Amino acid sequence: MRSVKLPLLNRARKYGYIVWRKKNDFDMQLLLEKMDKVEVVVNNSSIGIKNIDWKHRRIPITYTITRTLPDNISTITLKLDSKKRLIVNFS
């Protein structure tokens, strides 16, 4: 299973997004296969189908999730499971 590791940026934590930089575009396109929408799973719980904003390089996951993360969390790991759901892990 392919995975992508991204830094948890301050703006992502504040506004509730998974964001990536231009240098990660290729990895994200390989992972998400240029989909427009994806079901997102955080902490083994589905948070629904979310739009992928390719132009601004972000996926919304709500700030209630990101703002409650401890300060020592600095990495987001993304995987696509066999059902084409985006599995999100923070570390």
Backbone angles phi, psi at 84, to 5 degrees: 60, 35
**Residues 39/80, Cβ–Cβ less than 8 Å:** no
- At 85 the pLDDT is 96
**Sign of the torsion angle spanned by Cα atoms 82, 9, 25, 2:** negative
Backbone angles phi, psi at 78, to 5 degrees: -115, 135
- What global pTM score does this model have? 0.92
pLDDT digits (tens, 9 = 90+) for 21-79: 999 999 999 999 889 999 999 989 999 999 999 999 999 999 999 999 999 999 999 99
- At 19 the pLDDT is 97
Q: For residue 72, what are the contacts with CB-CB under 8 A and spacing of at least 6?
A: none
Q: What CATH number was assigned to the domain covering residues 3-90?
A: 2.40.330
